[in-house]
Amino acid sequence: MSLEKILGRRITRIQEILFYSALVAVLIILAGFVFYLIFSNINILLNFFAVAIVSLILPSFVYHYLYFLEIKDCEKYFPGFLGDLKEAKKSGVSFPEAIKSCRGEYGKLSKHVDKLKKDISWGINIDDSFNYMKKNLGKSQIISKSISVLTETYRSGGNIEEILGTLIGSLLKIVESENYRRSTMQQHVFMMYAIFLMYIALIITLGNFLIPMLSEVSGTGKGTGGGNMGDFQLMSAVSPCASCGDIFCFGLCKYYNTIGGMFEFGEIDSLELYYKSLFFTMIIIQGFFTGLIAGQISARSWVEGAKHGLIMFFMGLFIIILTNMVGLF
């Protein structure tokens, strides 16, 4: 039984993906509760909760990213389709017949061209047929505007061949400039990845030197107090979470303790856990937003930005987990 029959209404593809993603996330959380009840370890439940969040977000992002790639591929082949359409129109056939005679290979655009030809063959007028195509490729401003120009020219009785030639020239220039910009910006994207990896290495090195040094000053890295040495007072280096006095501090330290417990950064309210959780949070935030910027400058798309953001996010996450497991963080 399909999901539409269960819900009793039509649903889009993304709604179906979100439904099944939410269902999987709920099942993962329930499994986490079962393991929590068996082992009485809250960190197990938190880890299952993190996996549930990923399972909820990732499928929707993958769908949007694949659609983004499809749109880019359609834009790549659209000038070729218009070129075949222009050549067919030069043979003297009508505009609908010229569309039906286009039989080139257009990549991801082929299914939309086939749908356009079928609509025309079934007697649907040119305006409605192109509007259906425009609706399916609505995320592409290049294709949408080109279709609007074509339909308006056909409706007003203008010179289709001349308009097609103008559109092809404009589209080829746009694609060429977009490819040049992308290739130019690609080196900046690689540079941002390199800077992010250097940032991670710096944070790990800082943690290896700073945390042991402060722990030696405080003796254990946990607790409060100090000692007297002649006329000098030696102050203990302690975790700020050991003496919270406001809601913000309490909430932040609760987060640090939760993160530290999930990834075994140290004892609760210890100096080691505080700094490791702080450095970990800095890395994943830096990675995600650096990726967003990288995607914007390379493709001017939030989907591309989210891709780079997630790559850097998980890159930082796995590097910290691995270095912590081998004792380097």
CA distance linking residue 27 with residue 6, whole number of Å: 19
Q: What is the pLDDT of residues 240-251, one digit of tens each?
A: 887 777 888 888
Q: What is the pLDDT of residues 108-154, one digit of tens each?
A: 999 999 999 999 889 888 888 888 898 888 888 889 998 988 888 88
Q: Pairing relation of β-strands 226-229 and 232-235?
A: antiparallel
Report which residue type is found at 6. Answer: I
Contact criterion met (CB below 8 Å) for 189 and 297: yes
Of the candidates 63, 76, 79, the one whose C-alpha atom is nearest the C-alpha of residue 182 is 76
Structure token digits, residue 25: 């996330």
pLDDT band at 233 (very low <50, low <70, confident <90, very high): very low
Considering the chain, what is the average pLDDT of its residues? 85
Q: How many alpha carbons lie under 13 Å from residue 289 in its C-beta half-sphere? A: 5
- Answer whether residue 287 shows pLDDT above 90: yes
- Answer whether residue 225 shows pLDDT above 70: no
Regarding pTM above 0.75, the answer is yes
- Average pLDDT score over residue span 22-34: 94
- Note the pLDDT of residue 110: 92
- Answer whether residue 322 shows pLDDT above 60: yes
- Average pLDDT score over residue span 267-279: 88
> In sequence order, which residues have a C-beta less than 8 Å from that of residue 189 and are 6 or more positions away?
294, 297, 298, 308
Q: What is the pLDDT of residues 62-119, one digit of tens each?
A: 999 999 999 999 989 999 999 999 888 888 888 888 888 888 889 999 999 999 999 9
